[in-house]
Amino acid sequence: MTILAKASAIDALITAPQVHPELQKIAQKVISGTRLTPEEGLALYEKGEVSFLGALANFVREKKHGDKTFFNRNFHIEPTNICVFDCKFCSYSRLYKNREAGWELSKDQMLDIVKKYDGEPVTEVHIVGGVHPKMDLYFFGDLIRDIKAHRPDLHVKAFTSVELDYMFRKAKMNYVEGLTYLKEQGLESLPGGGAEIFDEVVREEIAGDKCSSDQWLEIHETAHKLGIPSNATMLYGHIETYAHRIDHMNRLRELQDRTQGFNTFIPLKFRNKENQMSDIAEVSVIEDLKNYAVARIFLDNFGHVKAYWPMIGRTTAQLSLAFGVDDIDGTIDDSTKIYSMAGAEDQNPKLTTEQLVELIRGVGRHPIERDTIYNTITDYKDKVFTTNTNGINK
Ligand code: V47
Ligand code: SF4
């Protein structure tokens, strides 16, 4: 179907008599490519029913990418789960004073993880962990330098703003100095973690002792200006309101207008297993899909919306592809403890490339393996798999 045919099909859907007139007006703006105000974004959350939001988000998604659905081959290193902070939603960290209950990897142990992937077609290492007072800027600078020396083609995506703010302060460097130093060692992009919810009152309540929203945003803005792209996340489904989610996305949209440095937006569903917010019920799958859809519609200047499949599970990830999502990440091993410890759907998040491709094809989409900055590595539209002797799909 052409974009024009799709536009008239969606036009018919949204002008149906049961659709609220305010939403009809908003949908017309979306179809004509006009930016929504925060008030209109809020109306989508408050008045939009899931199938309406899905149709509109899918229109935006297909206008940007057609059926293309991206994934990458990456692996995670979590240097430590010992953390000086005490976020109420975190199931993973152990306070420094209880450090015998946690883990801390040496530089050589982390390099051994990298070496495990020698000869394998991974393109990215994602390094994120707790904030350990003894793992400083120079420890991580050396780690990145050694990873790049061992494997120059591996893209290093590392450290949330929370980790960066702490290590820069300890090294008495400002953000420009700290990021420049890490870039010189081989840092190539930043993951999106630590954003949580930018509203200061909610942030104080759930993550009061770590870097502020303004600091998170400033680190990403500085990184973008230094040529380091990044991702952005939003932790949703806890004590925040829809207005807080729109405020969060609006701050990201304004920053993206200034820098164009964000690659992708990743909504992260709050999971309630064994943390200080376990009394809060998790939101439903309908709420997840609505949230993906509103994000896709509202964040008009973000290229991509990613569903982190180990967190939401494989079937919801498939569903999300009809609600604005065009990327399902691509973690290929099971080292991501931050989610499994919080009660993620997938306790063994390991998919071969063939399984990821089939997951995408299974809902009629077109799988593309990408690198970190969304260059196409392999187009799997018509590709037939051959398997090598190690069982690794080429
Ligand atoms: O900032 C912690 C979240 C984030 C819980 O950039 C939780 O490609 C839900 O940001 N329930 C860190 N979420 C991980 C992260 C990430 C993940 C995947 C891809 C990328 C990327 C980034 O994990 C934290 C926090 O928001 N988190 N605990 C929990 N109980
Ligand atoms: Fe530490 Fe990150 Fe957990 Fe907060 S979310 S306690 S900063 S590991």
Query: Stretch 78-103: mean pLDDT, rounded?
Result: 87
Average pLDDT, the chain: 92
**200 C-alpha vs ligand 1 centroid, how far in Å?**
19
Spatial contact of 72 and 372, defined as CB atoms under 8 Å apart: yes
Spatial contact of 173 and 136, defined as CB atoms under 8 Å apart: no
pLDDT band at residue 199 using 50, 70 and 90 as cut-offs: very high
Say if ligand 1 is within 6 A of residue 262 CB. no
For 295, residues 6+ apart whose C-beta sits below 8 A from its C-beta are 234, 249, 265, 267, 305, 324
* pLDDT surpassing 60 at residue 222: yes
Say if ligand 1 is within 6 A of residue 90 CB. yes
pLDDT band at residue 88 using 50, 70 and 90 as cut-offs: very high
- What is the spatial order of strands in the sheet that 124-127 belongs to? 74-77, 124-127, 155-158
Strand-pair category, 74-77 with 68-71:
unpaired
d(CA 285, CA 237): 11
For 10, residues 6+ apart whose C-beta sits below 8 A from its C-beta are 27, 31, 55, 56, 59
pLDDT, one tens digit per residue, over 350-368 is: 778 888 999 999 999 999 9
Say how many CA atoms lie within 13 Å of 139 toward its Cβ.
Answer: 20
**343 C-alpha vs ligand 1 centroid, how far in Å?**
13
Instruction: Return the number of other C-beta atoms located less than 10 Å from residue 293's C-beta.
Output: 30
- For residue 320, give the nearest of 371, 369, 265 by alpha carbon: 265
pLDDT band at residue 92 using 50, 70 and 90 as cut-offs: confident
Query: Stretch 297-326: mean pLDDT, rounded?
Result: 95
pLDDT band at residue 309 using 50, 70 and 90 as cut-offs: confident
pLDDT, one tens digit per residue, over 152-173 is: 999 999 999 999 999 999 999 9
* pLDDT surpassing 70 at residue 60: yes
The full set of domains in the chain, from first to last, is: 3-65 (no CATH), 68-379 (3.20.20.70)
Spatial contact of 292 and 57, defined as CB atoms under 8 Å apart: yes
Q: Atom 2 in ligand 2: which residue has the minimum CA distance?
A: 130
Q: Which atom of ligand 1 is nearest to the CA of 91?
A: 30
**33 C-alpha vs ligand 1 centroid, how far in Å?**
31
**46 C-alpha vs ligand 2 centroid, how far in Å?**
31
CA distances from 273 to 90, 282, 305, 340 (A): 9, 10, 26, 9
Mutation to probe ligand 1, out of 268, 316, 325, 333 (largest number of atoms < 8 A from CB): 268
Q: Atom 9 in ligand 1: which residue has the minimum CA distance?
A: 270
For 284, residues 6+ apart whose C-beta sits below 8 A from its C-beta are none
Q: Which ligand is nearest to the CA of 312?
A: 1
What pLDDT shows up at residue 347? 63
Spatial contact of 367 and 360, defined as CB atoms under 8 Å apart: yes
Task: Return the bridge partners of 242, or none.
Answer: none
For 187, residues 6+ apart whose C-beta sits below 8 A from its C-beta are 144, 156, 158, 159, 179, 228
Query: Stretch 368-389: mean pLDDT, rounded?
Result: 86
What pLDDT shows up at residue 390? 41
Q: Which atom of ligand 2 is nearest to the CA of 163?
A: 7
| pTM for the structure as a whole | 0.94
Say if ligand 1 is within 6 A of residue 89 CB. yes
- For residue 315, give the nearest of 271, 346, 282 by alpha carbon: 346
Say if ligand 1 is within 6 A of residue 129 CB. no
What pLDDT shows up at residue 87? 96
* pLDDT surpassing 90 at residue 214: yes
Q: Atom 8 in ligand 2: which residue has the minimum CA distance?
A: 130
